[in-house]
Amino acid sequence: MNFDSFVLTASTADLADEPDARDHADAVEYRMDLADDPLAALAEYDGDLSILVTNRADWEGGEAADTPARLDALCSAVENEAVEAVDVELQTLDDGDGQRVVEHAHDNGASVVVSTHDFEVTPDRETLEDWLSRASSVGDVGKVAVTAHSPDDVLDLLAATRSRTVAGETVATMAMGEAGRHSRAVAPLYGSRIGYAPVDPADATAPGQYDLATLSDLVAKLEGR
């Protein structure tokens, strides 16, 4: 998956949503951890949009038990030709067996998004830049999602996004929660390369997400398209 420019993904646990996403999304983020039989669904997929697969561990906001089977499923998923990117947590690379997912993804021509989430706060700018740099050094995109409680939190995140982008790193950033909601539309102007939004607002997979059509429209207007 090419992250040279902003990629808007439709987040879903049901690949049957893909036709409804085509008018607004560049790709689908398939939440394997929220699906009943994700590998079977991938095998049957015949949609137009390429897929970024996520099998989020329960300790980082997902529903997948952190067992070897979670990473096995990601390795199997990247063998599907429709899967062009995979998400792996930075902590899984630091403390676990995530490197095998990175290597298998690259062997199969898929990009790797290395992510960190904080569902409580927004760390200071130095920490944000450290997370982004470490993630970018081991993956193709370094992703950070934090929880904002004030405009200052969002400013720190945007500053870190801009700093790492200017340094030549490919990053994706967003602030969760109502205080950070606007960051999802604004962050691309500072260098963020991935956005996430549900097709249906009722299916949001993170706090403060816009629905897909709204986020697509906001980003386009801010970029002057």
Please check whether residue 34 lies inside any domain of the structure.
yes
Q: Domain range for residue 197?
A: 7-207
Please check whether residue 222 lies inside any domain of the structure.
no
In the prediction, which pLDDT does 224 show?
82
Domains: count for the chain:
1
Return the active site residues: 117, 143
Q: pLDDT tens digit string along 26-57?
A: 999 999 999 999 999 999 999 999 999 999 99
Residue 105 carries which side chain, given as an amino acid letter?
A
In the prediction, which pLDDT does 65 show?
95
Burial code (b: 16+ CB inside 10 Å, e: under 16) for 10-45 equals bbbbebebbeebeebbbbbbbbbbbbeebbebbeeb
For position 90, which CATH number holds? 3.20.20.70
How many CA atoms does the CB half-sphere of 175 hold within 13 Å?
28
Please check whether residue 106 lies inside any domain of the structure.
yes
Q: Which pTM value belongs to this model?
A: 0.95
